[in-house]
Amino acid sequence: MAGLTVLAGAAPSAGVPVLAGAAPAAPAAAPSAGVPAAPPPAVITCSPAAPLEQSGDERPAGPAVGLCVTVAGANMTVTAAADCACTVSGTWTARRGDDEDDTASGTLGGRATYPGPGTYAFTAAVSLGGAPRTGAVPLTGTVEGTFTFAAPKPVSGHRIEVAPPAALAPGTTTTLTYTVERTADDGDGSARLGLIGEPGTGIRLDSTDVRCVNPLTGRYPSTARSPHALDCALTDLQPGRPATVTVHVTIPADTCSTVVSKLGYWTPNGQQVAGAMVDGPTVKCR
């Protein structure tokens, strides 16, 4: 189904509705030398709402549900809304072309990495809460939309690598060395490296690096920590001066878990702040 793209500051075309009271954005001033450029405005693309596609012939047509995708720099957010007094939750996947490997996925309302320009087919598995029910049949189904993005994928100023690239194995402890490098001159040396295993699998992430800690859980004065996650505060990243973090990953003999890596950073521009979340490599379990 066709998508409708609304560009912040763009003049509306004939027949395209815009929000009442919205004024065109003024052209952005050229950044001063040595000052980071302001982040690009968010671009919102929405597909027309359609009746919820429910499995089973006995199910009536559900409320009309539509998808929207907001692209802001290196990130995007996928949301869904229905024409009923209800909440919409679920997950989504997106595929570009016929390549099975060229996909993205996430949770509705959560932040995901913007995959770059192109035409994507989105499918969302949604659940409507607080909506009318027919008997005991839950109001769940799928929503589809096709979206075309034109914004180039921003070049990240940070990079994460891990060694060795070998997969994890059940019943073993594997030592991984993460290298975090800042490649751009903008901003400062502060960043937070997050490593996350799959909760409930018994995986443990440990490090003797004083910059790393397993996050606390629960309400104070609880001292419980999440053994499947590790949070490392880095403060000395400079171009040409990467930071390394050594992590020990222990997996029980009867289970398996991948480990994903994320890096969050901010770029101060006076009292304005811009930043991003960078996806690092995923270490798989065989």
On the CB side of 208, CA atoms within 13 Å amount to: 1
Per the listing, tokens 């490593």 go with 195
pLDDT of residue 234: 97
Over range 222-247, report the average pLDDT.
96
Domains of the chain (ranges, CATH numbers):
4-149 (no CATH), 158-279 (2.60.40)
Please, which residues have CB within 8 angstroms of residue 110's CB and are 6 or more apart in sequence?
Answer: 77
pLDDT (0 to 100) of residue 56: 61
List pLDDT tens digits, range 51-68: 887 766 555 567 899 999
Q: In what order do the strands lie in the sheet with 140-149?
A: 103-107, 87-96, 118-129, 140-149
Q: DSSP 3-state assignment of 177? A: strand
For residue 98, pLDDT over 80 is answered with no
Q: Which two tokens stand for residue 132?
A: 């009318």
Residue 184 per-residue DSSP state: -
Residue 271 has a pLDDT of 78
* pLDDT score recorded for residue 33: 45
This model's pTM is above 0.85: no
**Are the CB atoms for 206 and 225 separated by under 8 Å?**
no
In the chain, which residue ranges form alpha helices assigned H by DSSP? none
Q: pLDDT tens digits for 176-232?
A: 999 999 998 877 899 999 999 999 999 999 999 999 999 999 999 999 999 999 999
One-letter identity of residue 20: A
Residue 140 structure tokens: 């769940």
Lowest-pLDDT range of 101-115, 158-172, 204-218: 101-115
